[in-house]
Amino acid sequence: MHWSKVLSRVLRSPIKDNYLISGNTTMGIGGYAEHFVEPYNKEDIVSILKTKMDLGFPLYIIGGGSNLIIRQGSIRGLFLSTSKLSDISVQSTRDNFLFEVQAGVSVSNVLKKAFSVSAEGLEYLVGIPGTIGGAISGNAGGKGYAISNNISWIESIEPDGSFRRWDKNEIEWNYRFCSLSNDRRIITRVGLKLSHGNTDKIRTKTRTFWEIRKYQPYNYKSAGCIFKNPEGYSAGKLLDECGCKGLKSGEAMISMKHANFIINLGSADYSDVLNLIGECRSRVLESTGIDLELEVRLIDA
């Protein structure tokens, strides 16, 4: 039996066919997912991973779609969105707070919750789009802070369908890198450690980090920074110095505000974005010898 038939028999969460996926990305680009599911319980996730082990099919795990650019056309396989894993609970101890957050909760909702109980330590995430699961997969952060600093533990469902809890120290972290991230394991929940703070200080810190966004085109559709910063350099600065700001392909454009952002002016498509990526990369390579590495994830299978 075809894997999608097997899944529609065993899952309680509905599977959609030929699902237009662009709306699940902040860039607003992408064609039709052969199948799409938003599991609302762990049992369904286990069934999906076990069926993948048995029958083999492409699986794409997506959170808020903020670091993701998907090609046009039909894409074979199953797209799994974590959006229904949306619980958040807070435990307050004498020394700190432990936030238990499911992978599909948005970063902004975690920040709102933290503010409401005066929990301090995540202010650097302000303005970062997407979900906590996505933020962990890419070890999101900025200005010397990264979410790995606040992690206490992570729960996942492993490729064979088993449950696993990882202590922070069992995970390898690096700049925009988390060793748990791949399309065969699903991060379901995370424990975040925060300090007891005071609302005035949290507000002030949040404002300071929000100032950074003034230099980013947050009012346009984008996938955040396109390239990783090479060690010792800012990719945005290199791209700017190579005259990339304002370059256009169709309705995709290198932002005039920050050269490491490609913005979608309306109906940009995947090939427009690829053109700009290629042009920017070769300009920087030619004039500096640095081959920029992508930070965004492309799905072009």
* 63 in contact with ligand EPU (CB under 6 A): no
Q: Which of 151, 235, 252, 263 binds ligand EPU (CB under 6 A)?
A: 235
Nearer of residues 131 and 260 to ligand EPU, judged by Cβ:
260
Q: Which of 30, 189, 236, 277 binds ligand EPU (CB under 6 A)?
A: 236
How many of the other CB atoms lie within 10 Å of CB of 282? 13
- Closest-CA residue to 46 (of 185, 254, 191): 185
How many chain residues bind ligand EPU (CB under 6 A)?
A: 17
Site for ligand EPU in 94-153 (CB under 6 A): 142-143
- Least distance from ligand EPU to the Cβ atom of residue 257, Å: 7
* 260 in contact with ligand EPU (CB under 6 A): yes
Q: Which of 8, 118, 234, 288 binds ligand EPU (CB under 6 A)?
A: 234
Cβ neighbourhood burial of 214 (10 Å; 0-12, 13-18, 19+)? exposed
Q: Which of 75, 224, 268, 292 binds ligand EPU (CB under 6 A)?
A: 224
Residue window 276-295: x/- pattern of binding to ligand EPU, with contact defined by CB under 6 A: -------------------x
The answer for 118, left when phi > 0, alpha when psi is -120 to 50, beta otherwise, is: left
* 259 in contact with ligand EPU (CB under 6 A): yes
Q: DSSP label at 216? A: T
Query: 45 Cβ partners below 8 Å, 6+ apart?
Result: 39, 80, 157, 186, 188
Structure tokens at 121: 């330590």
- Least distance from ligand EPU to the Cβ atom of residue 246, Å: 11
- Least distance from ligand EPU to the Cβ atom of residue 171, Å: 19
How many of the other CB atoms lie within 10 Å of CB of 77? 19
Crossing angle of helices 42-55/3-10, nearest 10°?
Answer: 160
- Least distance from ligand EPU to the Cβ atom of residue 224, Å: 3
Nearer of residues 51 and 66 to ligand EPU, judged by Cβ:
66
Residue window 18-57: x/- pattern of binding to ligand EPU, with contact defined by CB under 6 A: ----------------------------------------
- Closest-CA residue to 51 (of 35, 62, 65, 73): 35
CA distance 135 to 191: 13
Q: Given the rule CB under 6 A, which of 148-156, 177-185, 222-230, 269-277 is the region that contacts ligand EPU?
A: 222-230
Q: What is the CA radius of gyration of the chain?
A: 20
CA distance 122 to 36: 32
SS3 112: helix
Q: Which residues are near ligand EPU by CB under 6 A?
A: 142-143, 212, 215, 224-225, 228-229, 234-237, 240, 258-260, 295
